[in-house]
């Protein structure tokens, strides 16, 4: 039986500087590796996937592809994506590795795709960094633990909401 993909999600922070990260984690030789390479090789206008680095020429492991969910709306927004959001994703993946959420063996055999939302009106680079760092670590942990539980999904079905919409009751 092939290794299952781990899918994770996390929303951290509030207002314009919040982070919403979705992760796909799996073996390089499986569907995650194919999706990773395909996404890297097929950028689209405003959505150019790139390898996440801790420092120039030091990619985080497992190799992580940063995919923005929001095309840069202006230079300042682009700098928040390429700067603090990207650094936060790299640091959060390294945190997941250091904390044992991901194993050292997986660091060389697996890949991560991180789909990242940076609000076009975000205005605090340090908050964008911190929120993305925690959000990707949490998303990877949630994927490892298969969270949320089915019971939590069923329990929440009668009161769905998100930071952008709360239904009137």
Active site residues: 20
SS3 string, the chain, reads CCCCCEEEEEEECCHHHCEEEEEEEEECCCHHHHHHHHHHHCCECCECCEECEEECCEECCCEEEEEECCCCCCHHHHHHHHHHHHHHHHHHHHHHHHCCCCCHHHHHHEEEEEEEECCCCCCCHHHHHHHHHHHHHHHHHHHHCCCCCHHHHHHHCCCCCECCECCCC
């Amino acid at each position: 039986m092939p290794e299952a993909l781990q899918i994770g999600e996390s929303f951290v922070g509030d207002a314009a500087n919040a982070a919403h990260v979705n992760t796909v984690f799996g073996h390089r030789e499986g569907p995650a590796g194919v999706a990773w390479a395909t996404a890297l090789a097929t950028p689209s206008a405003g959505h150019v996937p790139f390898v996440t680095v801790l420092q120039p020429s030091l990619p985080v492991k497992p190799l992580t592809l940063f995919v923005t969910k929001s095309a840069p709306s202006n230079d300042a927004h682009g700098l928040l994506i390429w700067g603090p959001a990207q650094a936060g994703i790299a640091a959060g993946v390294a945190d997941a590795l250091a904390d044992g959420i991901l194993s050292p063996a997986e660091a060389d055999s697996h890949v991560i795709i991180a789909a990242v939302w940076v609000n076009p009106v975000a205005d605090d680079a340090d908050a964008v960094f911190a929120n993305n760092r925690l959000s990707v670590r949490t998303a990877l942990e949630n994927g490892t633990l298969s969270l949320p539980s089915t019971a939590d999904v069923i329990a929440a079905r009668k009161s769905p909401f998100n930071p952008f919409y709360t239904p009137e009751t």
